[in-house]
Structure 1
Amino acid sequence: MIRRVACTPTLTALALLSAPASAAQLTVLEHPQPGRVEVRVAEDDPWTARPAHPQDSAAVNVLRTLSSLLPNPLAGVPVRCTPDRGEAVGTWTDDRGRAACTLPPGAGAVRVEVPGATAQTAPDWHLDTARHLTVTDLDDTVIVTGVRQGGAARVLRQNALTRPVFPGAPELLRAQAARGPVVYLSNSPEGLAAPLRELLGKHGLPAGPLLLRDFPGVPGPRHKRQALDALARQTGAAFTLIGDSGEHDPELYAAFVQAWPGRVERVLIRDVVGGERRAEVERLSGLLGKQGVAWGWLPGEEH
């Protein structure tokens, strides 16, 4: 059992060398604050590690997804974060298997190590120096989910290789990536980070930070609002915001425009509901148009 002590990089390095080499799962959780790297460490699980295949049955996909969403956390595990530039930082996981390293601005990419797991690298996405940021939702915006039509069950039954994306979504986001980083801001639980990254790569979507929700600890609207505000504070970049009409994206983006006047160039909303909801969102678009924000609709599935 690892005893918690006052942590320094040297002590963390010694702990990494002396800790038991039992298998562990390391997940790097990206954060909108520059220099902050959050991690989650859990017991190794064969279902989570099992590669996805297009032929996997619904039962196999359900077991894999539930294993990702409900890990068995490991507390008291030493974590070492080594940046491209500057000194390493050491810490320990808490009772939820989580830890955070905070490094100074300009540290670059960060290599994260824990005993018994393959080291991972948290990229430097250069968000703080970007001149333009595209922030996009995922479910029902990029990925066909059907949140209002039993989408949670659909997510459980499918995997990264069988979940479809909307036609034109990869091309749209690749074009946006030519202007600056694309940030994926989603209410999906953090446990789905690995399969979502696999899905993005499979469909040729641009790489970018994946800001997922600490579920069930943080409500969805608060997660998105806090992340958007953090992004706005760290940079003077202009924003393009992309979401859908199924839940709260239009209202959330309208509030962001009000809170950060002059920072949003364009809002794109995928129409996945239609009817009265579309009329509600149209009224919002008219209000934002008066503030100089361009508004556009993206086509959804047939209602």
Structure 2
Amino acid sequence: MTLRRIALTYAILTLLPASASAAQLTLLAHPQPGRVEVRVAEDDPWGQRPARAEDSAAVNVLRTLSQLLPNPLAGVPVRCTPERGETVNTQTDDRGHAACTLPPGAGAVRVEVPGAGAQAAPDWQLNRAAHLTVTDLDDTVIVTGVRQGGAARILRQNALTRPVFPGVQALLQAEAARGPMVYLSNSPEGLGAPLQELLGTRGFPAGPLLLRDFPSVSGAQHKGQALDTLARQTGATFTLLGDSGERDPEIYAAFVRAWPGRVERILIRDVVSGERHAEVERLLGGLGVAWEWLPGAQP
């Protein structure tokens, strides 16, 4: 079955009657401590289907499309109850999004909406960290090949079959021993569930997953704003991981210039050769910050 036929099948399935009461609650991590963002959509069995290594490409595409293209529920009451402090009540907007802002130190937050099971938003304690490691995912941790048709591969694969770079789990576990790990990706919010499943099942350290509000926010804007927010919330030093295939070197260089003395080290996955390789070396070599290449050989 071609991807076009699979997409058409999914489009037809989304027109079928859905449960009137069931809802799907998704927690969206935010770099600001105390801010809990959520998305509420109609419950979709495809989106909740666990990944299996033997799943066909068709099943993987249907699951991913369900997660990427949910039917949002507007006007849904959202209740956020922190470990410490008062409960915050709000409701979803036309996009199915809502946010609860709580004071620092509120701890983990229990989030409840009608028709869905309650979930707990962790307190990652980013504002109290002495060191933060911030890493990109696609072509830095996960072998994607964004410039070589990687989007289609993402649809066909799942959390158990997407390849990761050799040794990257050990590298991030060593970094996590120094302080919190933050995953900062330009992937759309709808890919949060499969990415969380991949990180959780493949031995990566726990940490908030900051995804992009696509297409409202550009990739550079998303990453730059998230880094600035993290820097404002804490006096931590940073280790930054990215790849040469997109704009990570430029974003990290701008962050170094905006926050002098805050970046300890930059690691860049070497996935593009030629002029781009030399361009990255010139850019990062002039910053006065320790940096190095990570090998780009695919497993």
Q: TM-score range by the shorter chain?
A: over 0.9
Residue 171 of structure 2 aligns with which residue?
172
Q: 1:98 maps to which residue? A: 97
* Deviation sequence 1:83-138 (CA, Å, 0-9, x none): 01111100000110000000011000101000111111110000000000000000
How far has the Cα of 1:51 moved from its partner?
1.2
Secondary structure at 2:293 match in 1:
strand
Q: Deviations over 1:234-288 (max 9, x none)?
A: 0000000000000000011000000000000000000011221111011012102
Structure 2: 5+ residue runs without aligned partners?
A: 1-18
Instruction: State the distance in 2 between where 1:21 and 1:120 align.
Output: 21
Given candidates 281, 293, 297, the residue that maps to 2:293 is 297
Match of 2:132 in 1: 133
More moved, 20-29 vs 216-225: 20-29
Whole-Å separation in 1 of the counterparts to 2:295 and 2:217: 30
Distance in 2 between residues matched to 1:91 and 1:49, nearest whole Å: 25
CA spacing shift, 1:227–1:94, aligned 2, 3 Å? same
Task: For residue 21 of structure 1, report the CA deviation from its aligned partner.
Answer: 7.8
Residue number in structure 1 paired with 2:225: 226
Q: CA RMSD in A?
A: 1.1
Query: Which portions of structure 1, spanning 4 or more consecutive aligned residues, are displaced by more than 2 angstroms?
Result: none
Distance 1:301 1:156 in 2: 22
Return the offset for 1:182: 0.6
| Amino acid paired to 2:157 | Q
Question: Which residue in 2 is equivalent to 1:185?
Answer: 184
| SS of alignment partner, residue 107 of structure 1 | coil
Q: With structure 1 as the length reference, what TM-score do the two structures score?
A: 0.91
Q: CA deviation at 1:301?
A: 2.7
Q: CA deviation at 1:190?
A: 0.6
Q: In structure 2, what is the Cα distance between the partners aligned to 1:216 and 1:149? A: 21
Deviations 1:164-205 (A, max 9, x none): 110011000000000000100000011111111110011100
Q: Does 1:206 align with 2:214?
A: no
Residues of 1 paired with 2:153 and 2:84: CA distance?
43
**Residue of structure 2 equivalent to 1:122:** 121
Counterpart contact for 1:21–1:115, Cα < 8 Å: no
Give the structure 2 partner of residue 27 of structure 1: 26
Q: Per the alignment, in what secondary structure is the counterpart of residue 120 of structure 2?
A: strand
Instruction: Call closer, same or farther: CA 1:21–1:117 in 2, change over 3 Å.
Output: farther
Matched residues in 2 for 1:278 and 1:203: separation? 30
Aligned-partner Cα distance in 2 for 1:49–1:232: 35
Matched residue count: 280
In 2, distance between residues paired with 1:34 and 1:86? 14
Amino acid at match of 1:255: A
Q: Which residue of 1 aligns with 2:38?
A: 39
Q: Distance in 1 between matches of 2:68 and 2:196?
A: 15
Take 1:201 and 1:74, find their aligned partners in 2: how far apart are those partners?
28
Deviation at 1:35, TM superposition (A): 0.6
Q: What secondary structure does 2:286 align onto? A: helix
Q: Percent identity?
A: 81
Are 2:36 and 1:51 aligned?
A: no
Q: How does 1:277-288 map to 2 (within 5 A)?
A: 277-288=276-287
C-alpha distance after superposition, 1:20-72 (max 9, x if no partner): 98111000001001110000000001110111111111111111101100000
2:260 alignment counterpart: 261
Aligned partner of 2:11 in structure 1 is none
Q: Tell me the amino acid that sits aligned with residue 52 of structure 2.
A: H
Residue aligning to 1:275: 274
> Residue 239 of structure 2 aligns with which residue?
240
Q: Post-superposition shift, 1:217?
A: 1.0
- The answer for the alignment partner of 1:144 in structure 2 is 143
**Alpha-carbon distance in 2 for matches of 1:198, 1:77:** 26
Measured in 1, the distance between the counterparts of 2:124 and 2:196 equals 15
Instruction: Write the letter of the residue equivalent to 1:300.
Output: G
Q: What TM-score do you get using the length of structure 2 for normalisation?
A: 0.92
Q: Distance in 2 between matches of 1:89 and 1:226?
A: 25
Letter in 2 for 1:171: A
Match in the other structure for 1:251: 250
User: What is the CA–CA distance in structure 2 between the aligned matches of 1:163 and 1:119, rounded to whole Å?
Assistant: 29
